[in-house]
A = this chain, B = another copy of it.
């Protein structure tokens, strides 16, 4: 079946530094019209960084949208013209100080396709070399390192509640156990 929704009209509501908002008027398969509110996002990367001590590097930061601190894997937005792998190298260095001699692509996913086009490219960073973090001026980050099995436990206990971190932990576990 073909359920494609043709765009009949697009209204730009907001263009910002991190996201844009637009409303599309679409034609449904029955020829009736409906509206779709869409958050445009440049896409992002997230990195499961595995230290030589077999620990995953997490970043703890305050997330204004949810009004609390969250523990997440390092991540960041794609800049214009940047390949996801370049973004992963840059963001890992900025947020954690680590560089990786072996960065592997795992998979990609949409975080919330019901209203946003945000896609996250997930990488596994091995063979890490420690260095100095270079956070952006409005980023306050604390590093936390946990064993992969403890990270899985923290998901079960509801202590890790960020989608990309849950996916990163579970996909990395499968990947590493199949190697």
Q: Which residues of A contact B (CB under 8 A)?
A: 1, 3-5, 13-14, 16-19, 21, 23-24, 26, 28-29, 32, 34-39, 41, 44, 60-66, 69-70, 72, 75, 107-120, 137-138, 140, 142, 155-156, 158, 161-164, 166-167, 170-171, 174
This chain: copies in complex: 2
CA of A75 to CA of B110, assembled, Å:
15
Complex contact A21–B21 (CB within 8 A):
yes
Known: A140-B29, A162-B110, A162-B113. A36 touches B64 (CB 8 A): yes
Q: Which residues of B contact A164 (CB under 8 A)?
A: 163
CA of A162 to CA of B113, assembled, Å:
7
CA of A61 to CA of B28, assembled, Å:
12
CB nearest to A26 among chain B residues: B64
Tell me the minimal C-beta distance from A94 to chain B in angstroms. Answer: 15
Complex contact A108–B158 (CB within 8 A):
yes
- Tell me what chain A mostly uses at the interface: helix, strand, loop, or mixed: mixed
Complex contact B64–A109 (CB within 8 A):
no
Complex contact B17–A21 (CB within 8 A):
no
CA of A28 to CA of B13, assembled, Å:
28
Complex contact A62–B5 (CB within 8 A):
yes
Q: Which residues of B contact A119 (CB under 8 A)?
A: 66, 161
Complex contact B115–A18 (CB within 8 A):
yes
| 7 A/B residue pairs, CB under 8 Å, sorted by A | A3-B60, A38-B64, A65-B117, A72-B113, A107-B161, A110-B161, A113-B162
